[in-house]
């Protein structure tokens, strides 16, 4: 059902900067805030970014979010091995009247 499109995978080396995209439409990202979650293996998701670009409590400033039109991005700078996880974007969809999650992006730190 997801209409928030993310790349299935992303990778980078330590200290590198990577970005993960999230593409939606005018009924979701175009009108509503975007949220980003990090999920480590076997654990519940953790809120990283809310309202497009606000870092959740305790999240390092290496993580940043942005939004433009119907797309959003999560950037991770100074990549570290512990950043290896699945990342999901989320937004409310006015047409579906539902919260949508992106399909998820698996980040590998090489």
Partner 1 sequence: QVQLQQRGAGLLKPSETLSLTCAVSGGSFSGYYWTWIRQPPGKGLEWLGEINHSGGTTYSPSLKSRVTISLETPKNRFSLRLTSITAADTAVYYCARGSGVAAVPFYTYWGQGSLVIVSS
DSSP 83: G
- Asked if residue 44 binds partner 1 (CB under 8 A), the reply is yes
Backbone angles phi, psi at 58, to 5 degrees: 85, -5
CB 81 → partner 1: shortest distance, Å? 22
- Residue whose CB is less far from partner 1, 12 or 104: 104
| Residue 83 phi, psi (nearest 5) | -80, -5
**110: contact with partner 1 by CB under 8 A:** no
- How do strand 105-109 and strand 85-93 relate by DSSP bridges? antiparallel
Give the range of 10-18, 59-67, 71-79, 91-99 binding partner 1 by CB under 8 A: 91-99
Scan residues 55-74 and list those touching partner 1 (CB under 8 A): 56-57
Backbone angles phi, psi at 43, to 5 degrees: -125, 165
Residue with tokens 């919260």: 99
Interface residue list for partner 1 (CB under 8 A): 1-2, 32-33, 35, 37, 44-47, 50, 56-57, 88, 90-92, 96-104
């Amino acid at each position: 059902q997801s209409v928030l499109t993310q790349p299935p995978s992303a990778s980078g080396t330590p200290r590198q900067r990577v970005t993960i995209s999230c593409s939606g439409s005018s009924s979701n990202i175009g009108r509503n805030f975007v949220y980003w979650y990090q999920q480590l293996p076997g654990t519940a998701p953790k809120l990283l970014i809310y309202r497009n670009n606000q870092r959740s409590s305790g999240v390092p400033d290496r993580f940043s979010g942005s939004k433009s039109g119907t797309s959003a991005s999560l950037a991770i700078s100074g990549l570290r091995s512990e950043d290896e996880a699945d990342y999901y974007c989320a937004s409310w969809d006015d047409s579906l009247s539902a919260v949508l999650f992106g399909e998820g992006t698996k980040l590998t730190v090489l």
